[in-house]
Amino acid sequence: MKNKSPSIPSLAVSLGEYNFFISGGCLCIVKNLDLIFSNVLNHFLIKKMIKKFEVKPIKNKKSFSILYKIFNTDSKYFKFFFKFSEKGEFLGVSLNDDYNYLIFSGSISSYEEYLKNNFLNEINNIRLGIELEDDYNNFLKIFKEKNKYCVNFRNRSNDENYDPDGIDFEIIFKNGLMPLQIKGSSLYVSKHKKIHPKIPYIITSIGEDYEKRELNLLCLHDKYFSNK
Condensed to tens digits (0 to 9), the pLDDT of residues 72-84 reads 888 889 999 988 8
57 compared with 208, residue with greater pLDDT: 208
CATH topology of domain 129-226: Trna Endonuclease; Chain: A, domain 1 (3.40.1350)
pLDDT on residue 214: 96
Nearest to 7 by CA among 38, 49, 47, 44: 38
| pLDDT of 3 above 80 | no
136 compared with 192, residue with greater pLDDT: 136
Return d(Cα 14, Cα 20) in angstroms, integer: 9
Contact 44, 119 (CB under 8 A): yes
First to last CA, the chain: 52
* Average of per-residue pLDDT across 44-69: 88
| pLDDT of 105 above 80 | no
pLDDT on residue 172: 97
Nearest to 170 by CA among 211, 147, 136: 136
User: What's the half-sphere exposure (Cβ side, CA atoms, 13 Å) at 142?
Assistant: 10
Which DSSP letter does residue 206 get?
A: T
pLDDT on residue 164: 79
| pLDDT of 60 above 90 | no
pLDDT on residue 61: 76
Nearest to 102 by CA among 112, 22, 26: 112
CATH 3.40.1350 residue ranges of the chain are 129-226
Q: What is the pTM for the complete model shown?
A: 0.80
